[in-house]
A = this chain, B = another copy of it.
Amino acid sequence: MKTRVGILGYGNLAKGVELALRRTTDMELTAVFTRRDPSSLKIASDVPVVSVSEVEAWKDRIDVMILCGGSATDLPKQTPYFARFFNVIDSFDTHTDIPAHFEAVDTAARESGHIAMISVGWDPGLFSLMRAYAAAVLPDGKDYTFWGKGVSQGHSDAVRRIPGVKNAKQYTIPVDAALEAVRNGEMPELTTREKHTREVFVVAEPDADHSAIETAIKEMPKYFSDYDTTVHFIDEETFLRDHSGMAHGGFVFRSGVTGAEDEHRHIMEFSLKIDSNPEFTGSVLTAYARAAFRLAKMGQSGCRTVFDIAPALLLEMDEAEMRAHLL
């Protein structure tokens, strides 16, 4: 019997999960749950669309629920709540709030006897794994994480709130010279400004003061003031044509030493080039949903992160095949 998967929410990430499930043979989408009026939601798969108000009735018909809400306001409430009824998995990505989210989810999942996985995606997620493996192998070393080139949703939103801005997209771009210095094992100390630049494409309202907008962006504390930022004003047509993509990516490095006198230097590098951020993240969530349900079937409960999951649990392939072909 296939693992029965529910999706909660139906934005870009949920659509990525829906597509990823089609590439498995051991899992299937069973239903999509929504806070909207279910009759108003058209989905790509031929499965029921159910109101979240009826979710409890699906308690025994869903093996794992993939929560596709946002980290700012949805997941802090949704993940502990739905862990009362289901094995759940989320992509909570507010790094500083992870410990608190973990505690809330762990309490709920232990009480109900479910598995709940949090912070699954590529960062947090695959990048976290790389940082962990690298720290285990090279305990004396230094980590570097670079993001981009890709869109930062939070920064784009911040620009859109500036008066006179009709639409905006912000790209985070790693600085090549910094990447090269790390890659060469120079173990540089890098300031925020030296690691990434920011590039903003703005569609201004007619008659808006471009130079005021540019200043408002560049001087915005936390978001832009610590970075070298380039601002481009473009028309709406160009914006829709050239800036609707969802590509992203990034790099994780560890530069570390071994030897009696630290005389040998090693560089571990992991990088991603992602054409579609929601589809890639959806694929990661799908693999970890498989693992979550496997843990639940073993009788485990509580909150888990990618650090707790043995890689073998992620694949459809059996272990003998993995040893023969992947080891």
Q: Which residues of A contact B (CB under 8 A)?
A: 16, 19-20, 23-24, 44, 95, 98-99, 102, 119, 124, 126, 128-133, 135-140, 185, 258-260, 263-276, 279-280, 282-284, 287, 305-312, 314-317, 319-320, 322-324, 326-327
Question: Which of B263, B266, B270, B327 is close to A270, meaning CB atoms less than 8 Å apart?
Answer: B270
Q: Which residues of B contact A322 (CB under 8 A)?
A: 132, 305, 307
Q: A258-B19, A275-B265 are known contacts. Are A327 and B305 too (CB-CB below 8 A)?
A: yes
Report A185 CB to chain B, min CB distance, Å: 7
Of A44, A137, A283, A315, most B-chain CB atoms within 10 Å: A137
Is there an interface contact between A137 and B126, defined as CB atoms closer than 8 Å?
yes
Determine the distance from Cα of A317 to Cα of B20 in the docked complex, in whole angstroms.
Answer: 34
Q: Which residue of B lies closest to A283 (CB)?
A: B137
Q: Which residues of B contact A130 (CB under 8 A)?
A: 270
Which 8 A-B residue pairs are closest in the complex by CB-CB distance?
A: A136-B314, A264-B275, A258-B279, A307-B312, A264-B276, A136-B287, A267-B273, A132-B311
Determine the distance from Cα of A287 to Cα of B138 in the docked complex, in whole angstroms.
Answer: 9
